[in-house]
Amino acid sequence: MARCKEVWTLKLGILSAAVIGGLALPAQAAEFDLSGTATFTTDYIFRGLSNSDENPAVQASLDATYGMFYAGIWGSNTDFGDGIEIDYYAGIAPTWQSFTFDIAGLYYTFPGATGIDYFELKTGVSWTGGAWTLGANNYWSPDNFGLGINSNATEGSVSYEFNGKLFNYFSPSVSALIGYQSYEAILPDYTYWNAGLTLGFMDNWSADIRYWDTSYNDAQCITNIGRPGACDARVVGTVSASF
């Protein structure tokens, strides 16, 4: 319990500082914007683990933004519940110079399943300088997957966007991420990472090829997600359209 209180106190401190910083920013004209995405991926990977039993997934999102505030809904086929996951999120993303802060609540739901819906608090910051973007995010849950335990995932990411067009058609960028998922009890902690190439084309389309891996062995993978192969290294292809 002491660890839980310390983590929660840290989150509240980050949240308060970010909100105060956001309120101190110069006032800007806010505009309401509605957008969405449609995605096909060869495997639904969540923090290095396959949530679609290593099968393809179709995903979609709808997002609304107003100034620094945002909210949205995201869905995918999955291996849990009735085979559907629907997530809801809302947050605030104030900017200061080259930094963007992000504080949000995420609620993961699995229709048809009982007792596995759960909430996460996200706190993060990203920095953009020229073609480079660096990011750090933290996700904390008081009741991970309905198991009655708190969990914490910390991620660091880097991306680089190339100038010009590849074959006069594609806008290439490369990115990588490393994360550490920890649990209060029951489940084993693990590290996960990815690296990949993204090609943007036709203004609102993108194709991504990405390598994923985790530090789990087969026994640890079975303990966490029930299948030995769900945590293995793999290459995932994804095609997305935004509107």
Residues 6+ apart with CB under 8 A from 34: 62, 63, 64
Mean pLDDT within 106-117: 96
Count of residues in the chain = 243
Pairing of strands 69-77, 84-92: antiparallel
- SS3 of residue 81 by DSSP: coil
Answer yes or no: are the C-beta atoms of 199 and 170 closer than 8 Å. yes
Q: Domain-by-domain residue ranges, the chain?
A: 2-25+32-242
Express each pLDDT in 201-213 by its tens digit: 999 999 999 999 9
Express each pLDDT in 47-85 by its tens digit: 999 999 999 999 999 999 999 999 999 999 999 999 999
Q: What average pLDDT does the chain have?
A: 91
**Measured CA angle at 214 (ends 133, 177), to 5 deg:** 0
Could you tell me how far CA 44 lies from the centroid of its own chain?
12
Nearest to 144 by CA among 191, 89, 107: 107
CATH topology of domain 2-25+32-242: Porin (2.40.160)
Answer yes or no: are the C-beta atoms of 118 and 110 closer than 8 Å. no
